[in-house]
């Protein structure tokens, strides 16, 4: 306890120092932290019996879930335990924040990992590699990478495969990293299995009718970080932000509305789900550190259990071959994948009209109507429930 108290005290002192904003200071502290030392003594671990620690300013509390909103069959279809068996926590001072330690059924994480690496990375979805390569070169990252990853341990000095160079993929309404906006004409069908999973989790947290419309998948290496930011580009902030983690553990920092507020640090382990809603929906947050497994290049224990041979006939989870999981497992030994899912628009809401460019303001209405429909599309791209 003495070492833990010292770690908490040093973190609090660091955050109180003048100059650099408090969030940035703690981001740097955890970025440079040493696993297995007192550096991580102030990080909340929801997977064990959580106690009030961290910055000392926030206490862990139990969160109530809406057990009756998701029946056991639908939970099973998504690969989840019955909601009555989930554990859910919140933090005093962060209303609307819910942390659910791994609610997945044994083996079912395999499906979601495989989808992130094999299916969601395919075209027409968009990824960071598109800026440097042609569509043909990024058409199927899995096929181009699987043999490299399958024999990764045999030849560790080989160049990184394309999947190992992947940093992000966008789904549904594709986020524009330059304009920080979504648009109706930049859309591809959202994956139906991920939409179903997200709807069940949102309903369990009290958000009936949640529509999964946009997703950002982040692919982390052991040296990766996610900078301090706020997710505010969605037009409807009344709906939650859902976050799913798989693979190696990481440290997540949840701060305040301003960066001069010191954040609270917590571990995210494989299978953990975070929900940011209400007040917490627009708070600063970041990931300063992905933590290497203390046993070396190995998988978290929860990923060692295989996917059951018999799956629900009407479920969204598909079988995963031994060969496919070998590729996924080798990838995850030194990596982490995170899926964030958002509802962009309120029900029956359309994207706003974009301002007309200055040089086009004098065009007559007749001429304006002749412009390409793609450039003038402002209506909501309706989701196909069967897609």
Q: Which of 205, 213, 196 has its CA nearest to residue 341?
A: 213
17 is in an annotated binding site: no
285 is in an annotated binding site: yes
Give the H/E segment covering residue 100.
strand 97-100
How buried is residue 368: exposed, middle or buried, by Cβ count under 10 Å (0-12/13-18/19+)?
Answer: exposed
Buried/exposed code over 221-241 (b: 16+ C-beta within 10 A; e: otherwise):
ebeebbebeebebbbebebbb
Residues in CB range of 311: below 8 A, 6 or more apart? 317, 318, 319
The strands making up 335-342's β-sheet, listed across from edge to edge, are: 60-62, 89-91, 97-100, 273-276, 241-247, 335-342, 214-221, 168-172, 126-127
Backbone angles phi, psi at 245, to 5 degrees: -115, 140
At 236 the three-state DSSP class reads: coil
Structure tokens at 18: 């003048």
Total residue length of the chain: 387
229 is in an annotated binding site: yes
The span from the CA of 262 to the CA of 253, in Å, is 9
Give the H/E segment covering residue 246.
strand 241-247
The strands making up 264-268's β-sheet, listed across from edge to edge, are: 226-229, 285-290, 250-254, 264-268
Q: Decide if 102 contacts 249 (C-beta within 8 A).
A: no
Residue ranges of the binding site for Fe cation: 229, 231, 285
Residue ranges of the binding site: 229, 231, 285
């Amino acid at each position: 306890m003495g070492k833990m108290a010292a770690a908490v005290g040093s973190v609090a002192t660091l955050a109180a120092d003048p100059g650099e904003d408090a969030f940035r200071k703690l981001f740097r502290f955890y970025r440079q932290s040493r696993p297995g030392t007192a550096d991580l003594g102030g990080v909340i671990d929801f997977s064990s019996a959580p106690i009030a620690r961290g910055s000392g300013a926030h206490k862990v509390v139990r969160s109530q879930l809406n057990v009756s909103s998701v029946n056991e069959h639908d939970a099973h279809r998504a690969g989840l335990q019955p909601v009555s068996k989930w554990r859910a926590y919140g933090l005093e001072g962060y209303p609307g924040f819910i942390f659910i330690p791994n609610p997945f059924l044994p083996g079912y994480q395999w499906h979601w990992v495989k989808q992130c690496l094999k299916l969601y990375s395919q075209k027409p979805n968009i990824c960071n590699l598109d800026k440097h390569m042609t569509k043909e070169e990024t058409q199927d990252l899995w096929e181009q990478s699987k043999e490299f990853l399958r024999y990764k341990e045999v030849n560790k000095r080989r160049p990184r495969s394309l999947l190992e160079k992947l940093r992000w993929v966008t789904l549904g309404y594709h986020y524009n990293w330059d304009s920080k906006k979504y648009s109706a004409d930049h859309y591809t069908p959202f994956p139906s299995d991920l939409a179903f999973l997200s709807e069940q989790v949102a309903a369990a947290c009290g958000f009936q009718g949640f529509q999964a419309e946009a997703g950002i998948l982040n692919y982390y290496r052991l040296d990766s970080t996610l900078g301090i930011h706020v997710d505010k580009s969605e037009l409807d902030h009344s709906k939650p932000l859902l976050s799913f983690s798989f693979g190696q553990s990481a440290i997540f920092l949840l701060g305040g509305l301003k960066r001069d507020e010191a954040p609270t640090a917590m571990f995210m382990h494989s299978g953990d789900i975070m929900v940011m809603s209400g007040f917490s929906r627009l708070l600063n947050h970041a990931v300063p550190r992905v933590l290497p497994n203390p046993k070396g290049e190995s998988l978290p224990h929860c990923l060692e259990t295989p996917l059951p041979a018999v799956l629900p006939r009407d479920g969204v989870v598909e079988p995963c071959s031994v060969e496919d999981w070998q590729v996924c497992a080798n990838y995850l030994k030194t990596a982490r994948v995170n899926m964030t899912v958002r509802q962009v628009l309120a029900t029956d809401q359309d994207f706003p009209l974009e301002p007309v460019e200055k040089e086009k303001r004098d065009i007559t209405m007749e001429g304006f109507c002749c412009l390409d429909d793609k450039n003038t599309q402002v209506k909501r791209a309706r989701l196909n429930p069967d897609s």
